[in-house]
A and B are shown apart, each in its own frame.
Chain A
Amino acid sequence: MIQLSNIFKWYNVGGNRSFVLKDINLTINEGEFVSIMGPSGSGKSTLLHILGLLDEPNEGSYLFQEQEVLHLKEKQRSTLYKEHIGFVFQAYHLIDELTVYENIETPLIYKNLKGSERKAIVADLIDRFGIVGKKDLFPAQLSGGQQQLVGIARALATTPKLLLADEPTGNLNSKQGEEIMELFKQLNQEDGVTIIQVTHSEKNAEYGSRIIELLDGQVVK
């Protein structure tokens, strides 16, 4: 599903290249649940952002479903988001001005679904994530764990094949974290969603089927 080859990413700091990613080669197959681990500053987020097309590497190639996706036109990229990729952020990044319901509905609007279809999908997700009672609340009225549930529900609304999550439990307590991990596992096993998550916790990494370890911008394991 994903094939990265010779990915380099660097920043120019004081005239010197400071490498964040050095020659990353990576293949991830459909249906995998991958955890990326490594010390702080090792380039985990950068890698995930590149995988999620939020950021571009300075060198290398990225095939997504056998198709080169670097340097895509903006329109094609938004199509990829709409059809294939869901993103979960460490800081949730819900839209503060929208209710829970509307946040989950937003990607469906961009997908140009009809009102009735959207209603059905959102209702289903809300039900599944157990946040029916919260659907008319605004993000600020929710706890961190609840917000992250909404964030995941939103990422899943378009039924993406690939779910990317950058420390999804980083701001949550361990019980909330466990719930999210159970959810991921279930998504991966029952719905066949490919998941790539960045995590600091060995325990969370165990939920996945494979662990990639980064050190100073290089894959060490």
Chain B
Amino acid sequence: MLKNYFKIAWRNLQKHKFHTFINVVGLACGLSFALAIGAYIWQESTFDSQLKNVNNQYVLQSEWKSPEMGMPITTLGALPKALKEEYPDLVRNYYRFDGITCVLSYGDQTFNEEAALGDSTLLSMYGLPLLYGNAATALKDPFSLVITNDIALKYFGKTDVLGQQVNVKNFTGETHPFTVTAVLDKLPKNSVTNLNESLNNKVFLSSEAVDFFKRNLDSWQNAFIVGYVELQAGISPEMLKQPMKDLLVKHTDEKVVNNLIPTLNPLSNYHLKKDNGLIEKMLFTLGCIAGFILLMAVVNFINLSINGSTSRLKEIGVRKVMGSSRKQLGFQFIGESVLMVCLAFFIAVLLYPFISPAFSAILGQELPKIYTFSYSIWLYIFLACLAIGLSAGLYPAFRLSALKTINSVKGKIPHNLGNTSFLRSLVGFQFVVALSVIMAAGIISRQVSLFFSNNLGYDKESLITVKVPRDWSETGLSHMKAVQQALKDLPQIENISLSYDTPGGQGQMATGVLNFAQDTGNEQPSVSAQYILADTSFAATYKIPMLAGKFLDDKINQDLAKVVISEKASQLLGFKNPNDALNQQVYLKPNDFPATIVGVTKDFYAASMRDAQTPVIWTNIKADNLFRYFSIRLNAGNLGQHLASIEKEWKKLLPNTPFEYQFMDESIDALYKTELQLKNAAYTATILSSLIVFLGIVGLVSLNVQKRRKEIGVRKVLGSTVNGIISLFMKDLLITFIVAIVIACPLVYLFISKWLQSYSIQITLTPLFFILPILLLASVAAAIIGLQTVKAAKSNPVDSLRDE
């Protein structure tokens, strides 16, 4: 019996090759997309799952009442250790690191590396895979070095490098050889070595090396240490609330106790929840897109299956007369559609390795390899096949097999069949999804391009940032100033500025915000502004226009700071006119250090354009000797050649520091990673949903043409023109299309305006965003219908009227 069904199914698929092809391809497209997005979601939501005891692992972070006191992602250096030592029943282990950038050199290779100066527990606590070395001892010696396999390959060209020595430079410029004591295998995705985009450590140094780097991990004053703890089994993070509070009271001053709430965030979902759940929201959106595309493909499949099955009424009738029960017929149809779904899934799985590079590019992230899928994923896939096949087979199985045998045998399709409101609404649904996706994609891409257009308030083109060696002393600064002057004399450089932070993501605005007010005392309302320590040429280099006064100068007064503020800041201080702010006195919090406003700049986006333009305040780096970046504006010309010449000069000026530059527009790209993902996903979804809807139209119309061949013949005999016949089929879908428009427009408007609301600058939604997609879809659909029906309409009516 089964063999017979299978045979019939297979031959049917073969016989209706075109129909099968359209049906399977449409479904396979939807399935591939869903598979790729699903794999990505799976990968992201199992981010830390390979860490040992992941359910007891936490990252210790901070909620500061006053944002300038510390960073939210770090904690007090001494806290994790004290927790383990004083509450061993609650805390099983801890790991801390200080994220530093150091210069590594081996032979003639010199690179900046992000390194984690941290506890030796790293290797044992999380079960990170070691290629070489001993996890227990590798980080004991102060001059030991643990690296990942790709770092080993980068410096040595091989991974078997235990005992090799690399020179590491500290911030005062001293170098010391460090010995490789362990090599890590490719790390699983995890939030310990890769807490966020900017902390992705591949070089690990022992906590014993703190003296060499002049850092301090064990201090209650150092609020910039990344800390992790592993709780004892059965201990919940709430149980540590009081102990942590007690430790703060015991070891820190009142100000910290009043301002800091240490928080324990579970690593099991840290990746999804961080940045206000940015990734989780993105995954949800992607999931919805994939879900709709899949649903659309499935609906298409069901629709085409149902329409296809009406051409098999005769078979149904004959089988009944031969003694088939309805149940057996049902099984046959369901079996066939399950077979077809499996075929489509098979194709999707085959396609996966080919499309995943494309999706990696779209999502800016590697997709997992197919052989890493867990059994549960395959189970879900199998269940999905079954469910899709079942829903596509159910209609013919129940409706068609329930028809009167006599009608089936006569092949008489009842009027209400194949044209029911059910089938119409399926096509309508496809139109709705396709229209919505196309509209949304257009709007999203307009909005995203807003972020990349040059309206940041400064000129991001031909602008690079370069990390400079860190020697935060007066001599260090004057050395750097000399380098700056030498570089500025190069013909390739238009301007150059030295600063601690840079706008647009690269600097991550690490200094955070600075509060200031026109009065002393903490009770007064104050303005929180992005704080940029910069030299005098910052505004000129970035081309940020001045509204009043001048930018910073180098005449430092030890008792009275000079500040430049942005227009927004001056408004927040209460000045109507930027000129009013000039020479006014403000007090920098929390110490009420007096400062004079010497200039007011136009507003610009110091951080992401997701948020409103924040107020900005500058002070001169000369006052604090803190600096991290050169921002270099290149002159017009061949950028590649410019960079090569600058690097040559750089090598002469700073022989031990790599020239590692970043284009400002590229670092801005990185800032909008999720938006770019969304945009690319929306584009892909547009292509796919259009493809599916077109396949759907092709399939539907070809079946309709088949069904109405006789009618076409009769109409032609009665004098209908070719155009008349084509318009017959168009009219058929027109009403459905109009209904789809009526549903899609408000739907898209609702969701998109909600999405837009999360951005401070928004595009305005014009009717064109809605009309263009409608025209686009309508014209392509009309073209498809026209092409398909023209043949039938032109055919000789005798051919279609002859049978019987």
Alpha-carbon distance A107/B405, docked complex (angstroms) = 16
State which residues 6-49 of A face B: CB under 8 Å: 49
Q: Are A95 and B15 in contact (CB under 8 A)?
A: no
Contact with A along B545-570 (1 / 0, CB 8 A): 00000000000000000000000000
Q: Are B320 and A81 in contact (CB under 8 A)?
A: yes
Q: Are B406 and A55 in contact (CB under 8 A)?
A: yes
B412 proximal to A (CB < 8 A): no
A135 proximal to B (CB < 8 A): no
B121 proximal to A (CB < 8 A): no
A111 proximal to B (CB < 8 A): yes
B323 proximal to A (CB < 8 A): yes
Contact with A along B303-333 (1 / 0, CB 8 A): 0000000000011011111111110100000
A218 proximal to B (CB < 8 A): no
Q: Are B409 and A75 in contact (CB under 8 A)?
A: no
Q: Are A54 and B318 in contact (CB under 8 A)?
A: no
Contact with B along A103-138 (1 / 0, CB 8 A): 001110111100000000000000000000000000
Q: For A109, what are the chain B residues with a Cβ–Cβ distance below 8 Å?
A: 1, 4
Contact (A82, B323) CB under 8 Å given A54-B406, A97-B8: yes
A145 proximal to B (CB < 8 A): no
Q: Are A110 and B406 in contact (CB under 8 A)?
A: no
Q: For B7, what are the chain A residues with a Cβ–Cβ distance below 8 Å?
A: 98, 102
Contact (A54, B4) CB under 8 Å given A49-B406, A89-B409, A97-B11: no
State which residues 311-363 of B face A: CB under 8 Å: 314-315, 317-326, 328
State which residues 49-81 of A face B: CB under 8 Å: 49, 52-55, 74-75, 78-79, 81
Contact with A along B4-24 (1 / 0, CB 8 A): 100110011001000000000
Q: Are B321 and A54 in contact (CB under 8 A)?
A: yes
B214 proximal to A (CB < 8 A): no
Q: Shortest distance in angstroms between B411's beta carbon and chain A's nearest beta carbon?
A: 9
Q: For B652, what are the chain A residues with a Cβ–Cβ distance below 8 Å?
A: none
Q: For B11, what are the chain A residues with a Cβ–Cβ distance below 8 Å?
A: 97-98
Alpha-carbon distance A148/B314, docked complex (angstroms) = 16
Alpha-carbon distance A101/B93, docked complex (angstroms) = 75
Q: Are A98 and B325 in contact (CB under 8 A)?
A: no
Alpha-carbon distance A105/B3, docked complex (angstroms) = 12
Q: Shortest distance in angstroms between A101's beta carbon and chain B's nearest beta carbon?
A: 11
Q: For A89, what are the chain B residues with a Cβ–Cβ distance below 8 Å?
A: 318, 409
Q: Are A97 and B322 in contact (CB under 8 A)?
A: no
Alpha-carbon distance A89/B321, docked complex (angstroms) = 11
B interface: dominant SS: helix
Alpha-carbon distance A194/B430, docked complex (angstroms) = 55
B404 proximal to A (CB < 8 A): yes
A206 proximal to B (CB < 8 A): no
Q: Are B406 and A93 in contact (CB under 8 A)?
A: no
Contact (A78, B324) CB under 8 Å given A49-B406, A106-B4: yes
Q: Are A111 and B321 in contact (CB under 8 A)?
A: no
Q: Shortest distance in angstroms between A54's beta carbon and chain B's nearest beta carbon?
A: 4
Alpha-carbon distance A158/B11, docked complex (angstroms) = 25
State which residues 180-200 of B face A: CB under 8 Å: none
The residue that B323 contacts in the complex, of A96, A105, A111, with Cβ under 8 A, is A111
Q: Shortest distance in angstroms between A138's beta carbon and chain B's nearest beta carbon?
A: 9
Q: Are B319 and A52 in contact (CB under 8 A)?
A: no
Q: Are A93 and B314 in contact (CB under 8 A)?
A: yes
Q: Are B404 and A97 in contact (CB under 8 A)?
A: no
Q: Are A96 and B409 in contact (CB under 8 A)?
A: no
Q: For B404, what are the chain A residues with a Cβ–Cβ distance below 8 Å?
A: 54-55
Q: Shortest distance in angstroms between A204's beta carbon and chain B's nearest beta carbon?
A: 21
Q: For B15, what are the chain A residues with a Cβ–Cβ distance below 8 Å?
A: 96-97
Smallest Cβ-Cβ distance to A97: which chain B residue:
B11
Q: For B8, what are the chain A residues with a Cβ–Cβ distance below 8 Å?
A: 95, 97-98
Q: Are A110 and B12 in contact (CB under 8 A)?
A: no
Q: Are A158 and B406 in contact (CB under 8 A)?
A: no
Q: Are B323 and A107 in contact (CB under 8 A)?
A: yes
Smallest Cβ-Cβ distance to A106: which chain B residue:
B322
Contact with A along B592-614 (1 / 0, CB 8 A): 00000000000000000000000
Alpha-carbon distance A202/B4, docked complex (angstroms) = 41
Contact with A along B519-543 (1 / 0, CB 8 A): 0000000000000000000000000
Q: For A184, what are the chain B residues with a Cβ–Cβ distance below 8 Å?
A: none
State which residues 756-804 of B face A: CB under 8 Å: 804
Q: Are A93 and B409 in contact (CB under 8 A)?
A: yes
Alpha-carbon distance A74/B318, docked complex (angstroms) = 15
Q: Shortest distance in angstroms between A216's beta carbon and chain B's nearest beta carbon?
A: 21
Q: Are A110 and B328 in contact (CB under 8 A)?
A: yes
Alpha-carbon distance A79/B804, docked complex (angstroms) = 31
Q: For A107, what are the chain B residues with a Cβ–Cβ distance below 8 Å?
A: 322-323
Q: For A81, what are the chain B residues with a Cβ–Cβ distance below 8 Å?
A: 320-323
Contact (A75, B323) CB under 8 Å given A54-B406, A97-B12, A109-B1: no
Q: Are B322 and A52 in contact (CB under 8 A)?
A: no
Alpha-carbon distance A81/B409, docked complex (angstroms) = 15
Q: For B314, what are the chain A residues with a Cβ–Cβ distance below 8 Å?
A: 93
Q: For B319, what are the chain A residues with a Cβ–Cβ distance below 8 Å?
A: 95, 106, 110
Q: Shortest distance in angstroms between A196's beta carbon and chain B's nearest beta carbon?
A: 15
Alpha-carbon distance A90/B694, docked complex (angstroms) = 40
Contact with A along B403-427 (1 / 0, CB 8 A): 0111001000000000000000000
Q: Shortest distance in angstroms between B739's beta carbon and chain A's nearest beta carbon?
A: 33
Alpha-carbon distance A106/B315, docked complex (angstroms) = 12
Alpha-carbon distance A102/B11, docked complex (angstroms) = 12
The residue that A154 contacts in the complex, of B1, B322, B325, with Cβ under 8 A, is B322
Q: For A53, what are the chain B residues with a Cβ–Cβ distance below 8 Å?
A: 405
The residue that B409 contacts in the complex, of A54, A74, A98, A105, with Cβ under 8 A, is A54
Q: Shortest distance in angstroms between A125's beta carbon and chain B's nearest beta carbon?
A: 14
Alpha-carbon distance A79/B324, docked complex (angstroms) = 9
Contact (A52, B321) CB under 8 Å given A98-B11, A102-B7, A106-B4: yes
Alpha-carbon distance A81/B324, docked complex (angstroms) = 9
Alpha-carbon distance A93/B319, docked complex (angstroms) = 10
Contact (A110, B322) CB under 8 Å given A93-B314, A97-B15: yes
Q: Shortest distance in angstroms between B289's beta carbon and chain A's nearest beta carbon?
A: 39
Q: Are B322 and A74 in contact (CB under 8 A)?
A: no
13 further A-B pairs in the complex, CB-CB below 8 A; given A54-B404, A78-B320, A110-B328:
A52-B321, A54-B406, A79-B323, A81-B320, A81-B323, A89-B409, A91-B804, A93-B314, A96-B15, A97-B315, A106-B4, A109-B4, A110-B319
Selected A-B contacts with CB under 8 Å, 9 pairs: A79-B323, A89-B318, A89-B409, A93-B317, A95-B8, A97-B11, A102-B7, A110-B324, A111-B323
A residues adjacent to B (C-beta < 8 A): 49, 52-55, 74-75, 78-79, 81-82, 87, 89, 91, 93-98, 102, 105-107, 109-112, 154, 158
4 residue pairs, one from A and one from B, having the closest CB atoms: A82-B323, A107-B322, A110-B323, A97-B11
